[in-house]
Structure 1
Amino acid sequence: MTMTRATPTAAATTAGRLAGKVVLVTGGAKGLGRSVALAVADAGGDVAFTFHTSNEPAGRTLDEVRERGVNAEIRQCDVRDSAEVRATVAWANERFGRIDGLVNNAGVMPEHPFLEITEDQWDDVMRTDLTSAFVASQAVIPHMLAQGGGSIVNIASRLGQVGWPGVAHYASAKAGSIALVKSISREFGQRGIRANAVSPGVMNTDMGRTVMDGEVGRKRMAELPLGRFAEPGEVADAVVFLLSDDGALFLGQTLCPNAGGLMP
């Protein structure tokens, strides 16, 4: 009889990786951000996360994180407002006494044909998906330098690596987030700051299901060697790896948990 080994759970494979560390996650109420917050907690890290308008999901996520026995706090923040972002970083550092990891996850992906994108729409996506990551990183790095180091992870996207019709603003912002971590790593790597990106493909989240459930999703599925889309918890494991000391040699890198949809 052939024996099969059970796949370890995320909590089992990451337990203790982030013990004693504090991680700030933007957009942590639901979707990938929620999964990242839970994965950080499963790895033993304390969690601060932001939400914008999803009050009830934020409260549920906070309860789930605290059930894992770690400290957790939430704060409402519109990441398009740079002053709010800087205040949030200061709040997290004051509440926890340090910030070891920053996950720039908050983002939007509206769809508009390229010739119909207005400057206001372009600016809104850029401020949400890219400028917020720049502002948060700029605000957190002095705290990380004072404590001897830290890790920044930007949530990018496969579309930022290949471009895509109908989402030129989103793809451009995500491409910028990849360049941002390279620049941060080159400037601050010797001073203990690591910055990397995680670039997933389609995930089983509210945002991802708008793609998965249609004709585009069926075509994308056919392109995947793995034969399925990602679960957000699987992508969150890659984030935890980069936040942890296990990722010590990773600077300016982009991990691509995309089921084989892009092999850079």
Structure 2
Amino acid sequence: MATPTAISDPRPARTGPSSGPLAGRVVLVTGAAKGLGRSVALAAAAAGADVAFTFHTSDERAEKTSTEIQALGRRSLVRRCDVRDREQIARVVAATHEAFGRIDGLVNNAGIMPENAFLEITEEQWDTVIRTDLTSMFLTSQAVLPIMLEQGSGSIVNVASRLGQVGWPGVAHYAAAKAGVMALAKSISREFGQRGVRANAVAPGVINTDMGRTVMDGEVGRKRMAELPLGRFAEPEEVADAVIFLLSDASALFLGQTLGPNSGGLMP
């Protein structure tokens, strides 16, 4: 697999927010060139954090996200990375730590959602989704945890899905992976909570992103919309707000929890 490459390196921050829930912190976000990841990266910068993020294929969008982070007065580090590859992840984490001196927050966001009828899912397709959507979060968390433990603090947020809580036809591999990332957050919190590291998850419903619109713009989307007490799907910025909460000290008592910004589509 290809070596991660930089398309933007940290530059001195312009005058930016000196206060905010993430002021003075460093947040690493996977898959932040577009969609929810981009909104999380920008929200973290607006909250006062310097932001490192990965992308896989969307070079131009990644550069745009980096520029927008810097326009908010924060530093940005960008690396191309295939999150399925342990060595690439290790290099991204090392570059982030070297550039900023610490990593306070990790948002495991990168993922895919192919649609396959259950009886038609091949073993290769299953392995690809599980490695991209679940194993990648294990690998990235494992790479970042030693830094957080040395600091004595850190917050990990795994992006899950409502489908990981209820299951769904046509995306059994995706739903299984997302259920796994919620359990992963619980396990990390139980093992490292007393050492200052928290892990939680967000499980949104349909979000108005490129991925979400594949659901929204069809019959399935209309049926899903009819089930929502709020009467609308989520905007990525709204879900990003939940992620920022979990990264901040305001969520100090939240360990192994899954927040559900799902427009009322699931009420546990």
Q: Secondary structure at the residue paired with 1:61?
A: helix
Aligned length: 250
Shift of 1:83: 1.2
| Separation (CA, whole Å) in 1 of partners of 2:98 and 2:239 | 29
Farther off after superposition, 78-87 or 49-58:
78-87
Q: Does 1:207 align with 2:211?
A: yes
Say what the alpha-carbon RMSD is for the aligned residues: 0.7
Shift of 1:148: 1.1
Aligned partner (choices 191, 196, 199) of residue 195 of structure 1: 199
Q: Which residue of 1 aligns with 2:250?
A: 246
Partner amino acid, structure 2, of 1:40: A
Q: Which residue of 2 aligns with 1:81?
A: 85
| Separation (CA, whole Å) in 2 of partners of 1:204 and 1:31 | 8
| Separation (CA, whole Å) in 1 of partners of 2:65 and 2:75 | 13
TM-score, normalised to structure 2, is 0.92
| Separation (CA, whole Å) in 2 of partners of 1:96 and 1:28 | 18
Shift of 1:55: 0.4
Which stretches of structure 1, 4 residues or more, deviate above 4 A after TM superposition?
none
Q: Which residue of 2 aligns with 1:97?
A: 101
Alignment of structure 1 residues 113-124 onto 2, 5 Å: 113-124=117-128
Task: State percent identity of aligned pairs.
Answer: 76
| Separation (CA, whole Å) in 1 of partners of 2:218 and 2:69 | 33
Q: Which residue of 1 aligns with 2:229?
A: 225
Q: Which runs of 5+ in 1 are unaligned?
A: 1-14
Q: Does 1:180 align with 2:184?
A: yes
Deviations 1:195-224 (A, max 9, x none): 000000000000000111101111100000
Q: Which runs of 5+ in 2 are unaligned?
A: 1-18
Aligned partner (choices 137, 140, 143) of residue 139 of structure 1: 143
Partner amino acid, structure 2, of 1:60: K
| Separation (CA, whole Å) in 2 of partners of 1:143 and 1:47 | 16
| Separation (CA, whole Å) in 1 of partners of 2:215 and 2:80 | 28
| Separation (CA, whole Å) in 2 of partners of 1:209 and 1:44 | 30
Shift of 1:80: 1.2
Alignment of structure 1 residues 23-172 onto 2, 5 Å: 23-172=27-176
Deviations 1:206-253 (A, max 9, x none): 000011110111110000000000000000000000000111000000
